Chain A
Amino acid sequence: MIDLPFDPIRTAIPLFIALVLLEIAAGRFWRAKVVYEGKDAWTSLLLGFGNTVQTALMLGVIATSMMWVYSHHLFEIRMTYWWAWVVLFFADDFIFYWVHRISRERRIWWASHVNHHSSQHFNLTTALRQPLTQLVVGQWVPWLVLIWLGFPPAMIVVQNGVSLVYQFWIHTEAIKKMPRWFEAVMNTPSHHRVHHARNPRYLDANYAGILIIWDRLFGTYIAEREDDPCRYGIVKNLGGFNFLRVAFHEWIAIFQDVARSPKHAVGWLFGPPGWSPDGSRETSDIIKAKWRERVAKTEPAKAA
Chain B
Amino acid sequence: MDQAYIIQFAVSITAIVVLALVAAWARIPRKVAPLDESSARAVIAEELPDTPVDRVWVDAAGKAAVARAGSEGVVLFRVGDGFAVRSAPWAEVVHATARDGQLIIRFHDPAAPAARFQLSPGAVRAPFAEATA
Contact = CB atoms under 8 A, between A and B. Distances in A.
B24 A41 contact: yes
B112 to A, nearest CB: 3
A28 B77 CA distance: 27
A258 interface: no
Interface string A267-291: 0000000000000000000000011
A249 B111 contact: yes
B76 to A, nearest CB: 11
B29 A37 contact: yes
Contacts of B19: 17, 20-21, 41, 45, 125
A51 to B, nearest CB: 11
Query: How would you classify the secondary structure of chain B's contact residues: helix, strand, loop or mixed?
Result: mixed
Interface in A28-80: 28, 34-42, 45-46, 48-49, 52
A46 B20 CA distance: 10
Contacts, number: 111
A256 B110 contact: yes
B30 to A, nearest CB: 5
Report the contact-size class of chain B (Cβ under 8 Å from the partner): 20 to 34
A24 B26 CA distance: 7
Contacts of B107: 239
Contacts of A46: 16
B110 A253 contact: yes
A90 B77 CA distance: 45
B95 to A, nearest CB: 20
6 contacts: A25-B26, A35-B81, A41-B23, A42-B23, A236-B86, A239-B84
Given A24-B22, A37-B30, 15 more contacts: A20-B23, A24-B26, A24-B28, A27-B26, A28-B26, A36-B26, A37-B81, A236-B109, A238-B111, A238-B112, A239-B114, A240-B79, A241-B80, A245-B113, A294-B49
